[in-house]
C-alpha cells in the first residue's frame, strides 16, 4: 500500500518510526502535491497533508485514494464537495493544538497586562520608566469564543490566575474550568463583561464574519481581543476602525484574512496591535502529536476497523 505525504517531518526519527511500525506500507514524501509523480498519485491509497495544497482536480486524478489525514485542524481549504462525492474518509489532527495554543494565549495576555511592548521599547532606548502602566490577570474576566478542546485548556491555565471565565460555543454545553457558558447567539451578553476576548473558532458558515461592528462597541475600551482561530471571523477594516477609535485597547492577531499578512498592512505599525505569523500552534511537539493520531488511524485502517480518531463530516466541514 502506498501512502503519499506532503507533510514532511522535521525529525527523521519520526519518518523512521513510521517505517518500523508499518513495514508493509510504502511512504513517499514530497514538499508539494504537484511534485508527486502521476503514477504514484494514481496509486496512492492514503494522503497525509496540511490541507492547504489539495485541489478538486487532484481528487479526480487520485483513483485509488481512500483516506486523507489532515495534520491540522482547519478544513476550510479542502475540496470538501469532491471528497464527499468520492466518499473519501477524512481525519484531522484536532486536539493536538491545545497545549501550544493555550500557552501562546496566556503568554499574550500576560504581555498585554504587563505592557511588555512598551517595556521592550524602553529597554532598547535605555529609558528607565517606572511609570509604565502595569495590570494583572487576577480577577479579570476572560471570554473564550470556541469553548472546546483548545478553549478548555486556555480556561484551565487562566483559572490558575484566578480569572473569571466565560465560554461560548454552538451548544452552550458546559466545559471544565469555565464558570459560565453561553451560545453564539448571546455575544451581546458576554462582551460588555469581558476584559479579554479570545477566539479559537474555526472557519465555518456560522463563524465567517461573525463579529460585527456592534460587538466591538459592546466591549470595554480597555478590552484585549486575541484571535488564534481564523482570520475570516471579522472584517479587518472594521476591526481597525475599532482599534483606531479606542473601542478596544489592544488586539493580538495570529490569523488574518490574507496570509502572509502583506508588508504594507497597517497592522504592522499600529502600537495597539500585536502581529504574529500564524504560529500559535507550532512547537516541536506539533509533528509528533499529529503523527500519533495518524499511526493510530493507520492501524485501524489496515485492520479494517472503525475506531478512527477525529473523523471529519465533509458535508459540514468539521
* Total-model pTM: 0.86
Q: Which residues of the chain have pLDDT under 50?
A: none
Per-residue pLDDT, 316: 84
> Which three cell numbers mark 44?
496512492
Please identify which residue in the block is written with the cell numbers 464558570.
179
Per-residue pLDDT, 273: 98
Quote the CA–CA distance of 202 and 197 in Å, as a whole number: 15
Per-residue pLDDT, 183: 96
Q: For the segment 55-97, what is each residue's pLDDT rounded down to a tens digit?
A: 999 999 999 999 999 998 778 889 999 999 999 999 999 889 9
Active-site residue, 259 included: yes
Torsion of CA 11, 13, 15, 16, to 10 degrees: 160
Per-residue pLDDT, 315: 87
Active-site residue, 103 included: no
Per-residue pLDDT, 16: 96
Per-residue pLDDT, 74: 78
Q: For the segment 152-181, what is each residue's pLDDT rounded down to a tens digit?
A: 999 999 999 999 999 999 888 899 999 999
Catalytic residue among 278, 282, 292, 296: 278
Catalytic residue among 58, 97, 215, 230: 230
> Which three cell numbers mark 107?
503568554
Q: Which of 68, 47, 90, 78 is nearest to 310 (CA)?
A: 90
Quote the CA–CA distance of 105 and 33 in Å, as a whole number: 33
Per-residue pLDDT, 132: 96
Catalytic residue among 123, 259, 271, 316: 259
> Do residues 106 and 205 touch, judged by C-beta distance below 8 A?
no
> Which three cell numbers mark 138?
487576577
Per-residue pLDDT, 251: 98
Active-site residue, 241 included: no
Amino acid at each position: 500500500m502506498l501512502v503519499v505525504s506532503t507533510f514532511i517531518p522535521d525529525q527523521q526519527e519520526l519518518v523512521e518510526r513510521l517505517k518500523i511500525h508499518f513495514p508493509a506500507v510504502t511512504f513517499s514524501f514530497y514538499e508539494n502535491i504537484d511534485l508527486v509523480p502521476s503514477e504514484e498519485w494514481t496509486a496512492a491509497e492514503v494522503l497525509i497533508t496540511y490541507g492547504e495544497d489539495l485541489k478538486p482536480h487532484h481528487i479526480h486524478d487520485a483513483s485509488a485514494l481512500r483516506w486523507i489525514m489532515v495534520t491540522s485542524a482547519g478544513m476550510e481549504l479542502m475540496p470538501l464537495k469532491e471528497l464527499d462525492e468520492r466518499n473519501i474518509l477524512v481525519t484531522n489532527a484536532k486536539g493536538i493544538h491545545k497545549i501550544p495554543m493555550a500557552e501562546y494565549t496566556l503568554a499574550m495576555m500576560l504581555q498585554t497586562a504587563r505592557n511588555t511592548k512598551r517595556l521592550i521599547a524602553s529597554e532598547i532606548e535605555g529609558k528607565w520608566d517606572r511609570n509604565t502602566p502595569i495590570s494583572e490577570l487576577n480577577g479579570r474576566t476572560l471570554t473564550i469564543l470556541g469553548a472546546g478542546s483548545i478553549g478548555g485548556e486556555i480556561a484551565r491555565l487562566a483559572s490558575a490566575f484566578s480569572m473569571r471565565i466565560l465560554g461560548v460555543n454552538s451548544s452552550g454545553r458546559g466545559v471544565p474550568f469555565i464558570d459560565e457558558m453561553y451560545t453564539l447567539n448571546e455575544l451581546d451578553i458576554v462582551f460588555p463583561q469581558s476584559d479579554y476576548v479570545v477566539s479559537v473558532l474555526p472557519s465555518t458558515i456560522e463563524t465567517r464574519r461573525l463579529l460585527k461592528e456592534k460587538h466591538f462597541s459592546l466591549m470595554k475600551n480597555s478590552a484585549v481581543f486575541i484571535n488564534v482561530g481564523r482570520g475570516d471571523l471579522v472584517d479587518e477594516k472594521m476591526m481597525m476602525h475599532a482599534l483606531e477609535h479606542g473601542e478596544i485597547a489592544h488586539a493580538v492577531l495570529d490569523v488574518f484574512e490574507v496570509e502572509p499578512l502583506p508588508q504594507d498592512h497597517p497592522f504592522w505599525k499600529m502600537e495597539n496591535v500585536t502581529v504574529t505569523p500564524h504560529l500559535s500552534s507550532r512547537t516541536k511537539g506539533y509533528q509528533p502529536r499529529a503523527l500519533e493520531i495518524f499511526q493510530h488511524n493507520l492501524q485501524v485502517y489496515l485492520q479494517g476497523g472503525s475506531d478512527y480518531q477525529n473523523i471529519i463530516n465533509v458535508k459540514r466541514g468539521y
